[in-house]
Structure 1
C-alpha cells in the first residue's frame, strides 16, 4: 500500500456563489454536507491514515522573504491505496464538490525521502 495526500481545492468564484445563498439554505447545505462527509469517512475508514483538516490563510516563504498569498487549497486528507487511481476513486462524488462549493480534489503520492 502506498500513501497519498489529497488536497481539496476551491476557487474564489465558487466561494462567491456559496456566499450568495441565503443563511437558511447555506446552513442546511452545511449540515447535509458534514453528514455526507462523515458517511464518506466511515465508508473509507480503512483507507484513511489522517482525516486532515481545513486549511487557513497561506504565507509563502522564499529567498525574498515572507508574503501573504491566496491559493486554491481548502483542506487535506491522507489515505492509503494500492495505486493512485484507487486513491483517486475514493474521492469520486465527494461532498466537498457534490454539496459544498469546492471544485475538486487533487491526489498525489507521498514519496519516500531519498536516503532516509
Structure 2
C-alpha cells in the first residue's frame, strides 16, 4: 500500500494587530463571519479538514495576532501517480549521477595506475 499524502492550500496568513486591513475582526460576531468567508473561499473538497492556527502575543499596549488558515485534503489518484513518478525519476537520476561519478573515478584511477587486467 502506498502512502497517500495530504494536499494543502494556505488561503490566509498574516501577522498584525486588530483593525488592520483584512485582519480578523476583534468583535466575535464579525470574526465568525470573517472566518466563514475564508472557509467558503476554499475549494469544497478542502473545507472539511481545514485548520485555523492563531497565536497572540502582547506587544506593549496591543495584541499582535499571527493567523494562518489552511485547507487540506488527501491527494487524488492522479496526484499520487504523478508524485510517485517524479520520485522514481528523481531516484533514477540520482542513481545515474552516482554511476557516472563512479565511472569517472574508475577512469581516473585507470589512467593513474594503468590497466592491470
Q: Common fold, TM-score beyond 0.5?
A: no
* Higher RCO (Cα < 8 Å, 6 or more apart): 1
Structure-2-length-normalised TM-score:
0.31
The structure whose Rg is larger is 2
Structure-1-length-normalised TM-score:
0.31
